[in-house]
Structure 1
Amino acid sequence: MTPSEPGPAPGAEPPRRRPSPARARRVEAVERFLRPLPGARPRRRFEVPPERGERPVRPPGPPPGLARPVQTGFLLAVGVGLALLGWWVLANVGPLVGWVVTATFLALGLEPLVRWLEDRSLPRPGAVALVVLGLAGALAALIGFVVPRIVAEAAQLAARMPGLVDDVLGSRTFAELDERFGVRASTEQWLQLLGGRIGADGDLLGGVFGGVLGLGTVVIHAVAGTLIVLALTLYFLFSLPVMTQWAYRLAPASRRARVQELGDRMVRGVGNYVVGQACVALLNAAVALTLMLLTGVPFAALLSLVVALLAFVPLVGGVLAGILVSLVALTAGWGTAVPYAIGYFAYLQVEAYFVSPRIMRRAVAVPGAIAVISVAAGGALWGVLGALIAIPTAAAGLILVREVFVPRQDRR
């Protein structure tokens, strides 16, 4: 700068340097790459429509049904027909309904983990991907380290089963039961009747071939059902907020806020229950495995998996697991079975009064009598899946009774 040239004014921005031609070409190339294609449009999403500000005002007069009785009767008849058609469809697509219910149950169970990650400023797709990757890693570790041990112990148990059956048949207890109730004769008669039915259905080759085909069909259905449940679970996890918003929009505008509040409470309660029950089941299986290793119960890995699966069934699952493992422990002697039974059933008391209430404090609260009735009814109607979803369903019903039915009765 020469002395005759004026300097920059105080506080003025310094002159910007022009970018070099190479840098300008790179910037232009990047902008051209990021520019959308000609004629390309983003994919339309099935979004929830915005709420309207105004609400229609019903004019005074008789209800619409009384003003048009013929039309009302016709619509009622059509509604009954559609209800019967829906019942027939549900009765003929039972496996599909089971898959959808299972996927919904799993998605609601994983929703608290996704919501916890979302509270830490992680977007929902990333939270869902992280949860799915974590579950996939845990499943891969289970398959890689635990499943081979379980398969080996299952093979050992199958090899020892004939000897165990002979020991039971030759025991004094079985002899006394056979003398009093005729167990051996009843069993042989049932086996002969079953063999006669199999022989009446066809020759031996046809029976074996049909059995193989039936087994193959069962395996194919199981694999297809597992894949469908996994796909539906992922979809429900990604789109659960949109699905709940659509469900709330189906409610009348005057009651939509209340329906949304109750629906959110039900979703949170079911999700917290699934997570809490999973934690209780894993802790139960870990305690059972430790006791089996300490007392020398055979087939510890296989039995711990059985304990974990049974512990998912509320109230009665832990007791059934304890009885089953104690019976298997009897094959190693009373010195193994009695210490295990004492330790495990003592832990069940600790779990019932200290562990489970603290883990399930944020989940739904269901009275004991209603829980037992719900589990029995769910198991009778839908097997193991019905027993698993019985308590969350009962909890949702209790929320509706407490928050909707009881206040309505109080206002009368």
Structure 2
Amino acid sequence: MAVVLAEQGHNDLVGQPHEQAAEGPVAEAEAVAAEISTEQQPMGTPGRRFNRKSPFFIGMTAAAGVAVTYGVISLLSLAANVLILIGLALFLAIGLEPAVSFLVVHRWPRPLGVTAMLLLIIGVIGGFTAAAIPALITQGQQLIDNAPHYLQRAQDHSSFIGKLNDRLHLTQKLQSLISSPGSIDFNGVLSAGAAVFSAITDTAIVLILTAYFLADMPRIRALIYRMVPHTRRPRVILMGDDILAKVGTYVLGNLLISLIAGGLTFGWLMIFSIPYAALLSIMVALFDLVPVVGSSIAGIIVVAAALTISLPLCLATIAFFVIYRAAEDYFLVPRIIGRAMKVPALVTIVAVLIGGALLGIIGALVAIPAAAALLLITREILIPRLDEA
């Protein structure tokens, strides 16, 4: 195709029949195009830049800027759900990149390393699902069967649960919810089915996008750095790679800590025969993925389950979660995630609260790496410039 352009300046696959007499000035431009097209630069060399100081250029730039900004905001609002899935997939790919790079350094071909990581993720999700669903169904049915017994205990005014029920009127609210007309209807069943289908579809999309991002991560990294001016590129590479390493350390470490939290909770519940051990331990593992507040919220629910057995066991369960939370904050996190993040505790709490308010659970998950990136940029770019000003 480049030969065609070099010979006559007109592509044989466009604008046929080619009649130079009818083209007028365009024919002259085609002749010049044939001269400037070479094998090294088939599209010719770039021309001189526009005069950015001209009034026309300034006015058009301002108007185009306003229009583009409005259009981008409108498009982002329409595609918010899809963009969240894409961002989550990119976040997971960056988090898994250290593991894939480790395999590549040890002479694994990158496609094989990416495939191994994806098979590991699918295996973990499949095994987790296979082990969790039967337990969830069994223990969920037990919870439904034992609900009248719990309601009866709640009506015992001399017990702790009965006193709590007298103050908060829990049984009345529950009974009104169950007995209200239309509380469980066909539309509700359809909505629940649609929510489950949407969750499965979103999970599949995230996994597929994660695979593509992982496979093309070297090219994505190079493309992003190519968009930085040449004089600033080396420093941006150092900072960007440091941020990517921080995200990878955080994601892998957070997953491991959540598995530890779920396993220890399951062991505690099984030892003291607290009901719904599998259900509660899975919930603790999932909630523990959310920094700062996740394990505390899950602990409150587990403590409520222990309270159905006895008050001493409830107090012991509270002590267990307090001790575990201290061990997670002062032992597990420093050793597994280490000091790579370098985010102060106050910044961590504020970042998680803001991220959760903006994007829910996903925002809380990515809040700490985002805060670490902002702190790095502030320390390396903003503060030195302020000191020199």
For the pair 1:253 / 2:230, whether they are aligned, the reply is: yes
Q: Distance in 1 between matches of 2:353 and 2:155?
A: 33
Query: Is the contact made by 2:155 and 2:165 (CA closer than 8 Å) also made in structure 1?
Result: no
| Aligned residue type for 1:114 | V
Match of 2:361 in 1: 384
Shift of 1:222: 2.1
Unaligned 5+ segments in structure 1 are: 1-49, 51-55
1:276 to 233, 253, 259: 253
Q: Distance in 2 between matches of 1:251 and 1:381?
A: 29
Q: Distance in 1 between matches of 2:135 and 2:195?
A: 25
Match of 1:159 in 2: 145
Query: Is the contact made by 2:151 and 2:171 (CA closer than 8 Å) also made in structure 1?
Result: no
| Aligned residue type for 1:156 | Q
For the pair 1:84 / 2:61, whether they are aligned, the reply is: no
Unaligned 5+ segments in structure 2 are: 1-39, 41-45
Q: Distance in 2 between matches of 1:221 and 1:360?
A: 33
Q: Distance in 2 between matches of 1:167 and 1:140?
A: 39
Alignment length (residue pairs): 343
Q: Distance in 1 between matches of 2:175 and 2:154?
A: 19
| Aligned residue type for 1:103 | A
Q: CA RMSD for the aligned pairs?
A: 2.9
- What do the CA deviations read for 1:329-375 (whole angstroms, capped 9, x no partner)? 11111243222222232122122112211111153121111111111
Shift of 1:304: 0.7
What SS does the aligned partner of 2:231 have? helix
Match of 2:295 in 1: 318
For the pair 1:113 / 2:95, whether they are aligned, the reply is: no
Q: Distance in 2 between matches of 1:185 and 1:280?
A: 37
Query: Is the contact made by 1:248 and 1:256 (CA closer than 8 Å) also made in structure 2?
Result: yes
| Aligned residue type for 2:87 | V
The verdict on how the C-alpha distance between 1:170 and 1:356 changes in structure 2, with shifts beyond 3 A counting, is same
- State the TM-score, normalized to the length of structure 2: 0.80
Query: Is the contact made by 1:118 and 1:124 (CA closer than 8 Å) also made in structure 2?
Result: yes
| Aligned residue type for 1:218 | A
Match of 1:134 in 2: 120
Shift of 1:179: 6.6
Q: Distance in 2 between matches of 1:341 and 1:238?
A: 45
Alignment of 1:181-260 (within 5 A): 183=169, 187=173, 208-260=185-237
Match of 1:399 in 2: 376
Shift of 1:131: 1.3
Match of 2:279 in 1: 302
| Aligned residue type for 2:354 | A
Query: Is the contact made by 1:124 and 1:238 (CA closer than 8 Å) also made in structure 2?
Result: yes
Q: Distance in 1 between matches of 2:70 and 2:151?
A: 51
Query: Is the contact made by 2:154 and 2:165 (CA closer than 8 Å) also made in structure 1?
Result: no
Match of 1:286 in 2: 263
Query: Is the contact made by 1:109 and 1:270 (CA closer than 8 Å) also made in structure 2?
Result: yes
1:348 to 325, 332, 347: 325
| Aligned residue type for 1:316 | V
Shift of 1:246: 0.8
1:144 to 120, 127, 130: 130
What SS does the aligned partner of 1:332 have? coil
Greater Rg by CA? 1
- What do the CA deviations read for 1:260-308 (whole angstroms, capped 9, x no partner)? 2211111111111011111111111122112112222111111110010
| Aligned residue type for 1:90 | L
Shift of 1:191: 5.6
- What do the CA deviations read for 1:77-125 (whole angstroms, capped 9, x no partner)? 2112111111111111221012111111211121111111112111211
Shift of 1:185: 11
Shift of 1:141: 2.5
Shift of 1:175: 6.3
Match of 1:29 in 2: none
- State the TM-score, normalized to the length of structure 1: 0.76
